[in-house]
Amino acid sequence: MEPNTLGRLKHFLSHDSERGLLKNTTIVIVSLVVFILAWWGLSSLLHSAFFPSPYEVGVAFVDAFQNPDPTTGVTMWQHMSQSLVRFLWGFAIAFVLALPLGLLMGFSKVADTFGRTIVEIFRPIPPIAWAPFFFIVAGVFWGPIMPVFLGVFFPVLSNVIFGVKSVDPLLLDVAKTQGASKPTLFRKVILPSTIPYLMTGIRIGLGIGWMCIVAAEMIVAQGGGVGLYISQMSLVGKYDYMFAGMVVIAILGILTTELSGYIERRVSRRMGMK
């Protein structure tokens, strides 16, 4: 294809996607407005303390960030950073273990069969079901981290295994005819081919991990955490603050998903897998 034809095609595509984006944004805004109106209508209809209006939740939301709440003694910023620290720990441990294990299981039939048997025993148990156990054996700091670890570990592991098995045999042949040794095949062909799969595993793991941290904190956390905050607010009957905590989780969850989706797309593009 002539370069200028390619350029024109690119321009056409980007123009087209701009128009699509505009249309999408409009629909998203309309959908948000409908949601808030429905919430408002329902809460004023029910007129219940358990179900505050968006306005009341908004006020509580702002207040939670500005003033430490009397029950836990800290602001929402600290709850968020607590949750985030736990989340990152769980994520980091899962990543560090799942990546090499996934590569090994992708390579070796023996390791795969051996590992898969154990994985399949653990997989059906929801990570959060482990929370009480981890709380007892690992304490208040590591306890809530372990469900995150499990939530991230399995999706990363299975995607990496799948990635290694999906390496194009043609690319391996090419590399061999170019004189590649086994370690070189691994480093220059298998590893880069696996990266987009790894990113998919990370994206899925982030979503599950985030749900795990909040749920685990509701069960066992101490000192702070958004999950803890929600359960505390419900116990003392401050339902507007409880909902504010849920809004915080929703916002953080959306940000995490968007960010990881963005990184995944960037990486896939960089790896030439559009």
Partner 1 sequence: MDGEFVCVLGPSGCGKTTLLRIIAGLEEPTGGTILLNNKEITGPGSDRGMVFQEFGLFPWRTVRKNIEFGLEIRKVEKEERRKISDKYIDLVGLKGFENSHPYELSGGMKQRVGIARALANDPEILLMDEPFGALDAQTRNLMQKELLRIWSEMKKTVVFITHSVDEAVFVADRVVVMSARPGNIRYVFNVEWERPRDRASVEFASLRKKILAELEKETVASH
Helix 131-142 to helix 145-165 angle (10° resolution) is 110
Tell whether residue 3 is a contact of partner 1 (CB under 8 A).
yes
Tell whether residue 183 is a contact of partner 1 (CB under 8 A).
no
Helix 109-122 to helix 76-107 angle (10° resolution) is 140
Nearest to partner 1 of 116, 176 (CB atom): 176
* Structure tokens, 99: 């990546």
* Structure tokens, 149: 């670890």
* Structure tokens, 17: 């996607």
In terms of Cβ atoms closer than 10 Å to its own Cβ (0-12, 13-18, 19+), residue 244 is buried
Nearest to partner 1 of 117, 178 (CB atom): 178
| Total length of the chain | 274
Give the interface size with partner 1 as a residue count (CB under 8 A).
25
What is the signed CA dihedral for 158, 163, 166, 169, rounded to 10 degrees? -140
* Structure tokens, 268: 């896939």
Distance of closest approach, residue 182 Cβ to partner 1, in angstroms: 11
Tell whether residue 116 is a contact of partner 1 (CB under 8 A).
no
Tell whether residue 272 is a contact of partner 1 (CB under 8 A).
yes
Distance of closest approach, residue 47 Cβ to partner 1, in angstroms: 58
Q: Name the one range near partner 1 by CB under 8 A: 40-48, 136-144, 184-192, 215-223.
A: 184-192
The only residue of 192, 207, 257, 264 in contact with partner 1, by rule CB under 8 A:
192
Sorted by sequence, the CB contacts under 8 Å of residue 44 that are 6+ apart come out as 53
Distance of closest approach, residue 103 Cβ to partner 1, in angstroms: 17
Token pair 């273990």 in the structure block, residue: 97
CA distance 104 to 98: 10
Tell whether residue 273 is a contact of partner 1 (CB under 8 A).
yes
Tell whether residue 113 is a contact of partner 1 (CB under 8 A).
no
The separation between CA 47 and the C-alpha centre of its own chain, rounded to angstroms, equals 35
Nearest to partner 1 of 88, 195 (CB atom): 195
Report 43-82 residues binding partner 1 (CB under 8 A).
none
Distance of closest approach, residue 17 Cβ to partner 1, in angstroms: 17
Distance of closest approach, residue 180 Cβ to partner 1, in angstroms: 6
Task: Write out the residues near partner 1 by the rule CB under 8 A.
Answer: 1, 3, 6, 168, 170-171, 173-181, 184, 188-189, 192, 195, 270-274
